[in-house]
């Protein structure tokens, strides 16, 4: 028998006829060695965490986690979040072993160009990856949103049959718990009594720089107990102890649970266990070999999976797939018994919109001054009655952001059956929890705060865009016209900053009518997040006689006021549109030919066909001026090199908003004067 044939025979028989505990150990070491080999082959990554948490993860996935590789998007599956996303090889190895479409070659191409196994998990529902994690703490808060979504759906749809009843699990790290977002999310999870939320904390006392005692010495257990969590402590390598702790966590109905798994990072490595060297770098060829030898593992081939281990996972997969099929049968019977409730379920899961939504939007009185935040609040009342999936709230700012659904109850620990979410002063957690709710399915979440505080939400906004999740941000107090609150509360760079996020659509409507249309666009646009930028101050509802209709907002930019053979194009957004119209009319009275373009959304406009964009901004008209009460960086893409950018390239000032408008030239007269200079006409 050749060497290759002998090796193949060894692979076939390796681990055969082991008692259950030793077979489990073999399976756990398979996870460890796959992680080691993947990181080593990539020459980058984080081997220590997967090796340290392999025992606990095996117990969770093999004994408790309800999922179905044959039906990855089973609605009632347990949700699993690897918040410690740097340990992605742990997740990829588990998914591979359970038979999700992640092959051995995919593990071998970890972190490589075009692979489906990037350095940090990226949402892929068909492969069993629930969310994109990377920035520590985001996954922690995603899980809280998922758990809240489960409780809300259970309240709505469970009766004589439990249609919704799953758990949300996560593996979290020291880094997750250091990040501020975890404090916010944990606090709210405890307040909401999310008893089906169970987190396994990889308590290994090691971070990239060294021991966590360099910067992290708090009483984690005491902190989470203060938040209202159940805290359990176990040896993370004692699989039976981990199993007992998970059972105890599942039995607790009113408190989320943190299971503190004391582990050894890089468990099994003779020279790098319990060291920072194993956190964010490969073990090295020699140490990989030494570790395999210490584990009694074959040195060859790399990425070795014993057949007996594959059989173990296949057996569990069969049990899980049968559980999913049983739920499907139960759901079919429930649908037949409760057709109206089932129809609502399907509409909510599909985030379905009613026919003729545009005709149902409120109509606003022409000429009346209405803050677009107030208009948004009116629109929300109509939409919430029409769209069951629409739920949301604010970061303790509902009276200002107008984000309260008036005829709906609050969602809280006493009842999850409402529509209004009270996030408290927690923008970080709000953004990530909204992502979690959207990822869970069944909800189209919105969240409100002042535009200046969008910075607190930026990581979650970025991830929502990366994952293509439909969430709506209601950002009010959208300019220096916040007024007396001063520069700390006056956004100048924020609109432009949000426009730089790929996949996010930013809409700054000009009046109440456009606000209604902006909401329609946000609800119809299911492929990503939408940010609505709304005014604090009143702006007149435009008289559309002689102007383009408000529904043109769906095209992003459009010709609001036309003139024959324009010699100048004025481009404005939001509350500056009516000011710009006033300037155009002053100039028209002087015989100037001025077109006004409303650029409500750069992203929607840029997505239009080139022919349309050239019609709105004809290249031959080079005299152009942008008008927006914010920084001017970026407007050159529309005004060109010969254009003028009228904005505010400095922080704001504390004064009544009308004084600010006058001082900084946001009046029809001031805009017209600047336009005259561009036209070289003089005063």
CA dist., res. 574 & res. 578, Å (int): 8
pLDDT digits (tens, 9 = 90+) for 630-641: 999 999 999 998
pLDDT digits (tens, 9 = 90+) for 212-233: 999 999 999 999 999 999 999 9
Provide the pLDDT for residue 415. 95
Q: Give the pLDDT band of residue 439 (cuts 50, 70, 90).
A: very high
Q: Give the pLDDT band of residue 416 (cuts 50, 70, 90).
A: very high
Provide the pLDDT for residue 642. 84
Average pLDDT over the chain, rounded to an integer: 96
Cβ pair 176, 139 in contact under 8 A: yes
Residue 469 has pLDDT above 80, yes or no: yes
Residue 683 has pLDDT above 60, yes or no: no
Q: Provide mean pLDDT across the span 372-390.
A: 97
CA dist., res. 117 & res. 102, Å (int): 8
From 156, 179, 184, 427, active-site residue: 427
Is 427 marked active-site? yes
Q: How far is CA 266 from CA 206, 241, 274, 421, 637, in A?
A: 10, 20, 7, 41, 51
Residue 680 has pLDDT above 90, yes or no: no
Question: Which pTM value belongs to this model?
Answer: 0.96
pLDDT digits (tens, 9 = 90+) for 301-358: 999 999 999 999 999 999 999 999 999 999 999 999 999 999 999 999 999 999 988 8
The total of other beta-carbon atoms located within 10 Å of residue 311's CB is: 12
CA dist., res. 328 & res. 448, Å (int): 37
CA dist., res. 176 & res. 138, Å (int): 8
CA dist., res. 580 & res. 627, Å (int): 7
Please choose, from the candidates 68, 149, 91, 147, the residue with its C-alpha nearest in 3D space to the C-alpha of residue 328.
68
- Tell me the HSE value of 606 on the side-chain side, using a 13 A CA sphere: 13
Q: Is 472 helix (H, G, I), strand (E, B) or coil?
A: strand
pLDDT digits (tens, 9 = 90+) for 278-304: 999 999 999 999 999 999 999 999 999
Q: Which residues contact 17 (CB under 8 A, 6 or more apart)?
A: none
Q: Provide mean pLDDT across the span 43-67.
A: 98
Residue 371 has pLDDT above 50, yes or no: yes
pLDDT digits (tens, 9 = 90+) for 101-155: 999 999 999 999 999 999 999 999 999 999 999 899 999 999 999 999 999 999 9
Q: Provide mean pLDDT across the span 27-44.
A: 98
Provide the pLDDT for residue 3. 43
Q: Give the pLDDT band of residue 461 (cuts 50, 70, 90).
A: very high
Q: Provide mean pLDDT across the span 621-631.
A: 97
Q: Give the pLDDT band of residue 16 (cuts 50, 70, 90).
A: confident
Walk me through the domains of the chain, giving residue ranges and CATH numbers.
17-321 (3.40.50.970), 357-540 (3.40.50.970), 553-679 (3.40.50.920)
Portion of the chain with pLDDT greater than 90, in percent? 95
DSSP string, 154-214: HHHH-SSS-S----EEEEEEHHHHHSHHHHHHHHHHHHHT-TTEEEEEEE--EETTEEGGG
Cβ pair 92, 110 in contact under 8 A: yes
Residue 193 has pLDDT above 60, yes or no: yes
Portion of the chain with pLDDT greater than 70, in percent? 98
Q: Which residues contact 70 (CB under 8 A, 6 or more apart)?
A: 317, 321, 324
Q: Provide mean pLDDT across the span 448-476.
A: 98
Q: Give the pLDDT band of residue 11 (cuts 50, 70, 90).
A: low
CA dist., res. 416 & res. 152, Å (int): 5
CA dist., res. 683 & res. 681, Å (int): 7
Q: Provide mean pLDDT across the span 74-83.
A: 98
Please choose, from the candidates 570, 550, 538, 505, the residue with its C-alpha nearest in 3D space to the C-alpha of residue 661.
538
Q: Is 547 helix (H, G, I), strand (E, B) or coil?
A: coil
Cβ pair 48, 264 in contact under 8 A: no
């Amino acid at each position: 028998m050749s060497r290759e044939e002998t090796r193949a025979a060894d692979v076939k028989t390796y681990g055969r006829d082991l008692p259950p505990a030793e077979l489990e150990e073999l399976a756990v070491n398979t996870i460890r060695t796959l992680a080691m080999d993947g990181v080593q082959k990539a020459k980058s990554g984080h081997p220590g965490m997967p090796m340290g948490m392999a025992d606990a993860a095996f117990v969770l996935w093999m004994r408790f986690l309800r999922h179905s590789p044959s039906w990855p998007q089973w609605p009632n599956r347990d949700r699993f979040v690897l918040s410690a996303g740097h340990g992605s090889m742990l997740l990829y190895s588990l998914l591979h072993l359970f038979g999700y479409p992640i092959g051995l070659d995919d593990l071998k191409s970890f972190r490589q160009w075009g692979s489906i196994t990037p350095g940090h998990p990226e949402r892929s529902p068909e492969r069993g990856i629930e969310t994109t994690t990377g920035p520590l703490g985001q996954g922690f808060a995603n899980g809280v949103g998922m758990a809240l979504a489960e409780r809300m759906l259970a309240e709505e749809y469970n009766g004589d049959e439990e249609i919704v009843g799953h758990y949300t699990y996560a593996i979290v790290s020291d880094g997750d718990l250091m990040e501020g977002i975890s404090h916010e999310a944990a606090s709210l999870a405890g307040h909401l009594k999310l008893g089906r939320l169970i987190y396994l904390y990889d308590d290994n006392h090691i971070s990239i720089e060294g021991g966590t005692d360099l910067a992290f010495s708090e009483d984690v257990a005491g902190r989470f107990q203060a938040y209202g969590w159940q805290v359990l402590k176990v040896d993370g390598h004692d699989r039976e102890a981990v199993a007992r702790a998970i059972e105890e966590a599942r039995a607790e109905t009113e408190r989320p649970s943190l299971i503190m798994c004391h582990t050894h990072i890089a468990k099994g490595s003779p020279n790098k266990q319990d060291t920072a060297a194993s956190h964010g770098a490969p073990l090295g060829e020699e140490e990989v070999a030494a570790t395999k030898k210490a584990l009694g593992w074959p040195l060859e081939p790399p990425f070795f999976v014993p057949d007996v281990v594959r059989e173990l996972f296949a057996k569990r997969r069969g049990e899980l797939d049968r559980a999913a099929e049983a739920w499907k049968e139960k759901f079919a019977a429930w649908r037949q018994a409760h057709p109206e409730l089932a129809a609502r379920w399907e509409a909510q899961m599909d985030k379905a919109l009613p026919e003729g939504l545009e005709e149902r939007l409120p109509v606003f009185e022409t000429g009346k001054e209405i803050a677009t935040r107030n208009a948004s609040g009116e629109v929300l009342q109509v939409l919430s009655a029409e769209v069951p999936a629409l739920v949301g709230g604010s970061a303790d700012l509902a009276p200002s952001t107008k984000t309260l659904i008036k005829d709906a109850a609050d969602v809280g620990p006493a009842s999850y059956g409402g529509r209004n979410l009270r996030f408290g002063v927690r923008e970080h957690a709000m953004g990530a929890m909204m992502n979690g709710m959207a990822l869970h399915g069944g909800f189209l979440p919105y969240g409100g705060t002042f535009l200046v505080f969008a910075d607190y939400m930026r990581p979650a906004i970025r991830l929502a865009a990366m994952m293509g999740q439909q969430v709506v941000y209601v950002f009010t107090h959208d300019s220096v016209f916040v007024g007396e609150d001063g520069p700390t509360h006056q956004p100048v760079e924020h609109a432009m900053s949000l426009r730089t996020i790929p996949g996010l659509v930013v809409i700054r409507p000009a009046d109440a009518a456009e606000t209604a249309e902006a909401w329609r666009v946000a609800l119809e646009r299911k492929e990503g997040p939408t940010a609505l930028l709304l005014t604090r101050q009143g702006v007149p509802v435009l008289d559309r006689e002689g102007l383009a209709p408000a529904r043109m907002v769906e095209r992003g930019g459009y010709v609001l006021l036309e003139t024959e053979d324009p010699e100048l194009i004025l481009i404005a957004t939001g509350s500056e549109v009516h000011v710009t119209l006033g300037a155009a009319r002053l100039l028209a009275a002087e015989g100037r030919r001025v077109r006004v373009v409303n650029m409500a959304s750069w992203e929607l406009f840029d997505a239009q066909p080139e022919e349309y964009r050239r019609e709105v901004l004809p290249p031959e008209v080079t005299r152009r001026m942008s008008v927006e009460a914010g920084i001017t960086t970026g407007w050159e893409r529309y005004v060109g090199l010969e254009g003028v950018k009228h904005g505010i390239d400095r922080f704001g000032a504390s004064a009544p908003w009308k004084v600010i408008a006058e001082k900084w030239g946001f009046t029809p007269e001031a805009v017209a004067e600047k336009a005259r200079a561009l036209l070289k006409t003089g005063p």
